[in-house]
Chain A
């Protein structure tokens, strides 16, 4: 008779939790992975310390002139001294509160729209959309209510960048929606006109559009009708951007199931009411992230107005870096501009992703 013997206990499993186990799983799981990890560390070693030294540790933070920049790193004094120019361009110093006020009004005005429980959002939003541009124009441009007139040639810096981007998208949205509807229309003539318009603007670079609006627009208008340089750029930007918005909106229109169109028709709604009450509210909701993405692209593209001589953020930096008093400050200037652009674009792209998750509710089967 044999006695039953238990097998010896197995050894406990290796560490499954804790930093060591995490590193083994994610960094050193195979010899190839180990090699890649070491390569990554080497890359970081090559890139990060020099940047850290240049930008922070060895940087010059205090002073008023170039002579104060004695340390080896970046000379942030340049940015401090020219900060006003980068933000407002040549907007008169004692009137800059008007720009600040415009921005604060926008922030305070838009904030309720982000509160999901705010009552009567649509009414409030529409009245804001109508009133705010008027107030902003009065504040920025002046000439009414005893405000001193500030010509658009004095506008500049980040303020101009924001003006072009927001006016551009605000103008492009309605035009783009109309174009998208036109492209989906049953009437061949309207479809051809819209397709030609959209494909033309999408096929050419924005620079040529800006060139066109700055040299050809004056030729198109009746004689003796001068047109402001900023306005010319804005017209170019709006036409260009509307084509991209139209394509995004068309994507939304195509995503709406045919049953919705048929249901609207069966309810006896005509074309405009079925679009306005049934299709567009659903389609526009779908394409909000896409529109935010085109807005990011537009925001980056506003830097092109440098080519037609408007002083946006990038051009202000370029001008300031060419100042003989601050020669050799190009790197600091461009890094600063890049940081500002990056913060705006990255923020908006995060917001777009957040929206995509939030709106991802309907039309799933």
Chain B
């Protein structure tokens, strides 16, 4: 790589996470730079969700460190990370089911409001521009939305925080292919705005197509890493995750 790369916004070094005596992550290291989509692929139970939870501060880690925007942390406080522009869209979406779509989105901007920003109305218009469906349903309770709409709302709510680093956990899980494409299109657009994206996916093909760099996580360890287009051609990845159909043109 000859061009000058920006400093990574997120650098994870030697991270270990244990559930009791079971170690779910062993010395995982990765980097995400601003304006870059980095994907972590791997089978069920490889520790992908655990990795995101530990970076966000939902789970404590037992060794290693997380370096975010130039500050190293050995213990992470979720609220502090949210205040510094890190946002996680969890696998379970975690929407506020008995509240309206509009209120869910507003709460996405909760931390920005606390920090004194008063721009949530403009951000809301932008999010409605990205997901017009959410505008149509803004008075509907979040719990009554369809699966695709719920994912749009989860992503839209995360965007309300105007994240610098957006982490998406299995955004395609349980969604129709058309909606998956829609979500990935939004993700690709966000990169153009300079947002760093860490994408965890089981849908390896789609994830590698949209991303710049990829890590393959197996049983809690990074088995393989490299630029996404190279990973797509890697025989091991093709065999294990992309199937025999090979890659699409």
Q: Do A and B bind each other?
A: no
A: which residues have CB within 8 A of B? none
B: which residues have CB within 8 A of A? none
